[in-house]
Amino acid sequence: MSERRLSPLDRLLARADNALRTLTPGTVKAERRPPSAGGDNPDGTLPGEQRRHVMGLMRINHTGEVCAQALYQGQASTASLPHVRHAMEEAAREEEDHLAWCEERIRELGGVPSRLNPLFYAMSYAMGATAGLIGDRWSLGFVSETENQVVRHLEAHLYQVPESDLRTRAILEQMKTDELKHAVTAKDAGGAELPPPIRHAMTLMSKVMTFTTYRV
């Protein structure tokens, strides 16, 4: 049976639904169970200062996944080729697991997601839509560069998470594996390498997001 064609209104409503689900705590449910290394401490019994630091790191990662949802949805809204649009929507669904895992870990550690998430969602959606308008090769290249930066981000966080916090480390390791796969997939699909000024601008925005969401 062929897939029903969605009207522009259908797509608009789907985008709005995704935004509401992404930004409403407890709404997104993971299809995969949270990674676990066994013998970890899901109740957040790390020493106080370590617990607060890991909670801040996971809040950053959660906002990163909020941005990923917005980025993919924005790109899907303007992608010209159907297979590219489908790839963006599929990647967004896979990223929902990360979103749910990060939120759950934040709650276990006694925290709440960043209050700045709506702002970063809007900014990321605009960036994704703009990339899609420029062209699918550049849109895919934008995905590849974004995911590569996320991988480096996660590696830095893994270095800071205590060895005893097996739960957080298992989540970040699985996220790193998935993000690397998305980066390779986007590049293999024809993603263009972004010019250095754009890569530097992306890095700067990432630093702003990291600094603010760790605290707010």
Binding-site residue set for Fe cation: 65, 95, 98, 147, 179, 182
Q: Which amino acid is residue 69, in one-letter code?
A: Q
Neighbour count for residue 82 (Cβ, 10 Å):
8
As annotated, the binding site includes 65, 95, 98, 147, 179, 182
For residues 93 and 46, the answer to whether their CB atoms sit within 8 Å is: no
- Residue 43 DSSP SS3: coil
Q: Which of 114, 142, 129 is nearest to 198 (CA)?
A: 142
Return phi, psi of residue 181, to 5°.
Answer: -65, -40
The Cα–Cα gap between 120 and 59 comes to 13
